[in-house]
Amino acid sequence: MLCEGEIIFNLTKKINKKIISELKRVIQEYNKKKGEKTKNNFDNSKIIIKIKSENQTITDYALSLNKKLKEFLGRNYKIGVKSFKIKNYKVSINLDKKALKIPKIPFINKIEIKEKKAVIFYKEISEDFVKNNNVERTIKLVNEKVKKQYYEGKSEHHEIIYSSPKRNPVWNKNPTEEMIKQNWIIQGPTKGKWIYRPQATAILRAMENIVLNEILKPLGFVEIINSNIISGEKIWNKTGHLAGMPMELYYVAEPISRDPKIWEEFIDELKITKKIPYEKFKKLVKINPLQGLTYAQCPIFYWSLRGKVIKDSTLPLKVFERKTNSFRYESGGRHGIERVDEFHRIEIVYIGTKKQLIELREKLMEKYKKIFNEILEIEWRTAWVMPFYLQQAGEIKEDFKDKIYGTMDYEAWLPYRGSREKSEWLEFQNISIVGNKYVDAFNIKGQKEKLISGCSGVGLERWVAVFLAQKGLDPKKWPKGFKKYLPKIPKGFEFL
């Protein structure tokens, strides 16, 4: 890495010739130790240092020289260093891959890229910017964005691991459309939300009971209940969701005050016009601190364990959550009940040693297999895919090849989409082991061994969509195993 720039230290007092000559000596000694050469200027109450370095970043150099100067000037002359800034800062970065195009990077004033070298340029950066390691993170971001250029547009890594026996579907209709016709489901008042009538609710609950009885109880998972509202600062900024998918999150705004007087004008205007005065409303709610609705259930659970040392007797820790709904702004991708903005999901979370989790995943996979082959009798497969958490964090790693850490998607054929060979199958659930990402983010530790964690997300709407797409809406044609869980469809409402 090659860096150059001008560091300007602002002092609390003017410095005289004597101090300047001593400063020259101090800086020279310091440079000797650091293996650097600098051009120094002294101007009233400023020290200006021009430096070009191959050994270290100018930010590191500035930070440690800042300390040194503070010590020296404070001890001998009662002069303080108010602050420093770096001007005309140029950093050359070695890239892991050749850039395909120049990435957009905030805060910098210019970027040049040639082959596997990038040069970024700042006109001026503050001490806070330096202290917060923003330059180092900018360098990381440049590399990350260049690497990402190679993946954009390419489909994610997808390697089929298991395929179930073939099944003959009883029909090839889209169950969402058929359920709407029969009044089993009603589209909600806002995008991608559904109201489930007793018939569809019973199917959703039957799926839930299958998971409870066939997997969670026998494997000793215990139920927890989360809060619905997630903190951006305490949770999503730590898990990588905020940097990874801010465009998919649903945000929540609190009122700025619960004092009725503050809301009086809003209320009166609403009463008179019967229309929501949005301009007023905008000023009555706050977006800082950032909060939103559950995207996945596991992050807030990890947060709740922050800083804890989990006793060996509790490991592997096995929980599930089914009370909070997941919200995702799916926008254009929305369709049917299988891609919605609010869905019901059982999230199964496990924390333990590597050995424990590999074993547990095996058991989970076995149980799932039994459900899909013997109870639901659907045509499905599993695929090893690029772990979602790596994409979420914007960091793409290539080392999940050993199939220990990563995600396995469960996919099923939707006959209404076309042939099993040519149509796109639907991911209806997954199993992941995410390694130490989340336990480290929240400083969760074991007594002796290092812990890792993982989760499995059972999307109930997707289970229903898959089952009905292959088995139809007529209970007479449903497999025996499923009928045990739902012998009869409840009667719905009748309308004139």
Decide if residue 345 touches ligand ATP (CB under 6 A): yes
CB closer to ligand ATP out of 232 and 406: 406
Looking at the DSSP assignment, which residues form a beta bridge with residue 309? 445
Q: How far is the CB of 158 from Zn ion (least distance, A)?
A: 20
Pattern 419-438, binding to ligand ATP, x per CB under 6 A?
Answer: --------xxxx--------
Decide if residue 457 touches ligand ATP (CB under 6 A): yes
Token pair recorded at residue 93: 């970065």
Pattern 289-318, binding to Zn ion, x per CB under 5 A?
Answer: -------x-x--------------------
Q: Is residue 298 among the annotated active site residues?
A: yes
Q: What is the dihedral of CA 129, 131, 132, 136, to 10 degrees?
A: 80
Decide if residue 461 touches ligand ATP (CB under 6 A): yes
Candidates 90, 339, 381, 420: give the one binding ligand ATP (CB under 6 A). Answer: 339
Amino acid code (one letter) for 368: Y
Q: How far is the CB of 309 from Zn ion (least distance, A)?
A: 22
Q: Is residue 3 among the annotated active site residues?
A: no
Which residue carries 């690497």 as its tokens? 147
CB closer to ligand ATP out of 108 and 464: 464
Query: What is the C-alpha separation between 56 and 50, in angstroms, rounded?
Result: 14
User: Is the bond into 103 cis (omega within 30 degrees of 0)?
Assistant: no
User: By Cβ distance, which residue is nearest to ligand ATP?
Assistant: 459
Instruction: Give the active site residue among 3, 208, 455, 461.
Output: 455
Decide if residue 306 touches ligand ATP (CB under 6 A): no
Instruction: Give the active site residue among 298, 321, 342, 411.
Output: 298
Say which entry of ligand ATP, Zn ion, none residue 455 contacts (CB below 5 to 8 A, set by partner kind).
Zn ion
Q: Is residue 167 among the annotated active site residues?
A: no
Say which entry of Zn ion, ligand ATP, none residue 298 contacts (CB below 5 to 8 A, set by partner kind).
Zn ion
Say which entry of Zn ion, ligand ATP, none residue 46 contacts (CB below 5 to 8 A, set by partner kind).
none
Decide if residue 330 touches ligand ATP (CB under 6 A): yes
CB closer to ligand ATP out of 127 and 347: 347
Query: Judged by CB under 5 A, which stretch of 133-141, 213-221, 327-335, 453-461 contacts Zn ion?
Result: 453-461
For 310, phi and psi rounded to 5 degrees? -90, 130
Contact 389, 437 (CB under 8 A): yes
Decide if residue 176 touches ligand ATP (CB under 6 A): no
For 303, phi and psi rounded to 5 degrees? -55, -40
Give the HSE-up count for residue 354: Cα atoms under 13 Å, Cβ half-sphere: 8
Kindly report the number of other CB atoms within 10 A of residue 451's CB atom: 23
Decide if residue 431 touches Zn ion (CB under 5 A): no
Q: How far is the CB of 245 from ligand ATP (least distance, A)?
A: 9
Decide if residue 388 touches ligand ATP (CB under 6 A): yes
Which residue carries 């560091």 as its tokens? 7
Instruction: Give the active site residue among 167, 322, 328, 361.
Output: 328
Say which entry of ligand ATP, Zn ion, none residue 339 contacts (CB below 5 to 8 A, set by partner kind).
ligand ATP
E strand or H helix at 196, and its extent? strand 194-196
Contact 185, 196 (CB under 8 A): yes
Instruction: Give the active site residue among 6, 36, 342, 427.
Output: 427
Token pair recorded at residue 199: 């018939």
Distances (CA, A) of 98 to 58, 93, 103, 118, 121: 25, 12, 12, 9, 19
Three-state SS letters, 331-373 = HHHCECCCECCEECEEEEEEEECHHHHHHHHHHHHHHHHHHHH
Burial-class residue 399 by CB neighbours within 10 Å (0-12, 13-18, 19+): exposed
Decide if residue 455 touches Zn ion (CB under 5 A): yes
Candidates 38, 462, 466, 489: give the one binding ligand ATP (CB under 6 A). Answer: 462
DSSP secondary structure code for residue 213 in this structure: I
Candidates 459, 466, 472, 478: give the one binding ligand ATP (CB under 6 A). Answer: 459
CB closer to Zn ion out of 226 and 291: 226
Beta sheet of 110-114, edge-to-edge order? 38-43, 46-53, 2-11, 81-94, 117-126, 110-114
Say which entry of Zn ion, ligand ATP, none residue 434 contacts (CB below 5 to 8 A, set by partner kind).
none
Please name which of 169, 115, 111, 181 lies closest in space to residue 141, comparing C-alpha atoms.
Answer: 111
Q: Is residue 455 among the annotated active site residues?
A: yes
Q: Residues touching ligand ATP: how many (CB under 6 A)? A: 17
Q: Is residue 462 among the annotated active site residues?
A: yes
Decide if residue 328 touches ligand ATP (CB under 6 A): yes
Instruction: Give the active site residue among 214, 379, 409, 411.
Output: 409
Kindly report the number of other CB atoms within 10 A of residue 267's CB atom: 12
Distances (CA, A) of 58 to 1, 55, 69: 11, 9, 16
Angle between helices 198-211 and 460-471 (to 10 degrees): 110
Say which entry of Zn ion, ligand ATP, none residue 459 contacts (CB below 5 to 8 A, set by partner kind).
ligand ATP
Residues that bind ligand ATP (CB under 6 A): 296, 328, 330, 338-340, 343, 345, 388, 427-430, 457, 459, 461-462
Residues that bind Zn ion (CB under 5 A): 296, 298, 455
Query: Which sequence positions are flagged as catalytic?
Result: 298, 328, 330, 339, 347, 409, 427, 430, 455, 462
